Chains A and B, each alone.
Chain A
Amino acid sequence: MTAPRPALETATMVRAGELSAVDVLEHHLAVIEVGEEAVHAFNLVTADRARAQARAVDATVAAGGDPGPLAGVPVALKDNLCTRGVPTTCSSRILEGWEPPYDATVVTRLAAAGAVAIGKTNMDEFAMGSSTETSAFGTTRNPHDTDRVPGGSSGGSAAAVAAGFAPLALGSDTGGSIRQPAALCGVVGMKPTYGTVSRYGLVAFASSLDQIGPFAGSVADAALLFDAIGGHDPLDSTSLNRPTPRVLSVLDDGVDGMTVGVLTELLDGAAPDVVARVHQAAEALAAAGARIEEVSVPEVSLGLSAYYLIAPGEASSNLARYDGVRYGLRVDAEDTVAMNTATRSEGFGAEVKRRIMLGTYVLSAGYMDAYYNQALRVRTRIIEGFATAYTRCDVLLGPTAPTTAFAIGAKVDDPLTMYLSDVCTIPSNLAGHPAISVPFGPGDDGLPVGVQLLGPALSEGTLFQVAAVVEAAAPPLAAPRLRTGVPA
């Protein structure tokens, strides 16, 4: 049995023939065996397929070849990423049992980089939620305190990395679904610039906002994963056909001479212990040579309202495809419209129904101008507001989430309160900008706090550079209790 290692070290050793990919995998499967019952990070652990991938990596090394930059590193995949022949559910009854006939581009790229796909992680149903409680297959629990949520919607991916089930994971971020669970679980999570990572094979929620990104135990490991998945893809017409920033190579470049703006609007609704951590991170950046300014982007305060008009609008259109005709659940009825209705009514959970109805309403005649089109104009204003801030600042700093992890059940019956969990992360999605959450010590309750760095489009290099400095200054965070007693 091998001890847990950073992904970078694992890949380096596997490539050099000093460590076997099969041994790395078996270690992680053993950790899952011990901890998964308490956490429920996975909808499916693909042990046999993973073993075949790991054996192939070892065979490549034995034959003198190079399996790639992620050689032998287990990666957990959010269950809205299509995997050919492997169930992909979006944690919804309506897709239960569906086996996609193709792989998502990120899945193909991971395999080409030598990674080992270890399983499909639990999520809020169709990524609609901030706690993983809307999953049709049960709630994922926060490895730091199993009475708390892991955040969402990529809660399973965040929890998998926090619990040591996999050194790396992929999630998707439409309004904060990577960064918020990363903050709540004490791991690094990053949403790339819209268009830098192909969405081909990502089951669509809100197409103009969705973006795939990495989870990792460290900034360097997140950089390794981002470098492996980015780049133009002809299969995604919104994929940017221009060079994707490389981030691993700039991690040690520091922040000397940079200007970091503390974004006051993000501090407004945050808990005092979270705000204190943001200021502490700013002081650390100042000590490392950055200039710190307070910056206000008033338009950011409109982000939440605009998002909950735009995202449901796009979702109502995207989720029209679940009609019981071509794949997934069908509930039989006397005619096709009745079959469509019966299938959707039985297959979707309450939160998905709420969003579909909200979206249908704001797109319907008579309301589209007042709600949806207004929200699109607010989106323009938010982009302009950020642009002004970025004439003075290289990056912006704020909390990732207003609080540490909340109790399971605390918000699930009150949609608006749940939506407010995303208030700090939504603006970057509306602007298409990258942002990263870095763990920065515990809050007053001992649970992880995440600080967020925001940058303009394609500023990933700068973001990772700053994130590395923040990480180096972060107060220590106790390892999840679950890790105690896990074989090493």
Chain B
Amino acid sequence: MAEPARLTRDDVAHVAALARLHLTEEELDLFTGQLAEVLDHAADVASLDLAGVAPTAHAMAVTNVLRPDEPAPCLDRDEVLAQAPSVEDHRFRVPRILGEAP
């Protein structure tokens, strides 16, 4: 498999935005170098010819894990909501989610 191009500062900025992380200019510089180094090390994996080898996502594969569909107690709502930063009417409260004033 062909090796991808080396990681750039723009790649890191893009990925940070996808991951909902704000990076300072200094962090962008630092992380670009560090992450590129890790990916360079991974070039041995990226460059292998592994056509025909099946991927393994789980080493101890278990499938169709089902249980009887019977009601059982779940977490206490008040105990769960007590851990939330903001609550209103038994619901999690967040700032506005759309790009206009409420």
With beta carbons under 8 angstroms apart, the residue of A98, A237, A332 that contacts B95 is A332
Contact in complex: B45, A306 (CB < 8 Å): yes
Chain B residues contacting A348 (CB-CB under 8 Å) are 21
Within the complex, the shortest CB–CB distance from B73 to chain A, in Å, comes to 11
With beta carbons under 8 angstroms apart, the residue of A339, A361, A376 that contacts B55 is A376
Within the complex, the shortest CB–CB distance from B27 to chain A, in Å, comes to 8
> B90 an interface residue at 8 Å Cβ cutoff?
no
Contact in complex: A101, B22 (CB < 8 Å): no
Within the complex, the shortest CB–CB distance from A378 to chain B, in Å, comes to 5
With known contacts A306-B45, A335-B97, A101–B56 Cβ distance under 8 A: no
Which of A158-166, A180-188, A264-272, A320-328 lines the interface with chain B? A320-328
> A341 an interface residue at 8 Å Cβ cutoff?
yes
> A342 an interface residue at 8 Å Cβ cutoff?
yes
A102 to B73, CA, bound (A): 12
Task: Give the size of the chain B interface in residues (CB under 8 angstroms).
Answer: 56
With known contacts A238-B60, A373-B55, A358–B4 Cβ distance under 8 A: no
Which of A16-24, A124-132, A362-370 lines the interface with chain B? A362-370
Chain B residues contacting A333 (CB-CB under 8 Å) are 95
Name B64-93 residues within 8 Å CB distance of A: 65, 67, 75-76, 79-80, 83-86, 92
Closest to A97 in B: B83
Closest to B43 in A: A305
Contact in complex: B95, A335 (CB < 8 Å): yes
Contact with B along A347-375 (1 / 0, CB 8 A): 01010011011101100101101110111
With beta carbons under 8 angstroms apart, the residue of A323, A353, A377 that contacts B54 is A377
The total of interchain contacts (Cβ-Cβ below 8 angstroms) comes to 182
Name A291-324 residues within 8 Å CB distance of B: 302, 304-306, 308-309, 316, 320, 323-324
Contact in complex: B53, A358 (CB < 8 Å): no
With known contacts A237-B62, A380-B56, A357–B21 Cβ distance under 8 A: yes
> A226 an interface residue at 8 Å Cβ cutoff?
no
Main secondary structure of the interface of A (DSSP, over half): helix
A377 to B52, CA, bound (A): 9
> A28 an interface residue at 8 Å Cβ cutoff?
no
Closest to A375 in B: B45
> A379 an interface residue at 8 Å Cβ cutoff?
yes
A339 to B67, CA, bound (A): 38
With known contacts A332-B95, A341-B20, A353–B31 Cβ distance under 8 A: yes
Chain B residues contacting A237 (CB-CB under 8 Å) are 62, 65
Contact with B along A169-205 (1 / 0, CB 8 A): 0000000000000000000000001110000000000
With known contacts A302-B44, A373-B55, A323–B20 Cβ distance under 8 A: yes
> B37 an interface residue at 8 Å Cβ cutoff?
yes
Contact in complex: A345, B22 (CB < 8 Å): yes
A282 to B86, CA, bound (A): 59
Chain A residues contacting B22 (CB-CB under 8 Å) are 341-342, 345
Task: Give the size of the chain A interface in residues (CB under 8 angstroms).
Answer: 75
Contact in complex: A326, B83 (CB < 8 Å): yes
With beta carbons under 8 angstroms apart, the residue of A330, A334, A370, A383 that contacts B56 is A383
Contact with B along A32-52 (1 / 0, CB 8 A): 000000000000000000000
Contact with A along B8-24 (1 / 0, CB 8 A): 00011001101111110
A323 to B37, CA, bound (A): 29
> A146 an interface residue at 8 Å Cβ cutoff?
no
Chain B residues contacting A234 (CB-CB under 8 Å) are 67
A332 to B93, CA, bound (A): 12
With known contacts A357-B15, A370-B4, A380-B53, A416–B83 Cβ distance under 8 A: no
Chain B residues contacting A320 (CB-CB under 8 Å) are 19
A240 to B19, CA, bound (A): 33
Closest to B87 in A: A326
Within the complex, the shortest CB–CB distance from A385 to chain B, in Å, comes to 12
Closest to B93 in A: A325
With beta carbons under 8 angstroms apart, the residue of B54, B84, B98, B99 that contacts A325 is B84
A-B contact pairs, 6 of them (CB 8 A): A326-B80, A334-B96, A353-B23, A357-B31, A361-B11, A364-B18
Given contacts A326-B92, A379-B56, 11 further A-B contacts (CB under 8 A): A101-B79, A208-B59, A309-B45, A326-B80, A341-B21, A374-B45, A375-B42, A376-B56, A377-B48, A380-B54, A431-B59
Residues of A within 8 A of B (CB): 98-99, 101-102, 193-195, 208, 234, 237-238, 240-241, 302, 304-306, 308-309, 316, 320, 323-330, 332-342, 344-345, 348, 350, 353-354, 356-358, 360-361, 364, 366-367, 369-371, 373-381, 383, 415-416, 419, 430-433, 457
8 tightest Cβ-Cβ pairs between the two chains A and B: A432-B59, A376-B55, A330-B85, A377-B50, A377-B53, A379-B56, A327-B83, A345-B22
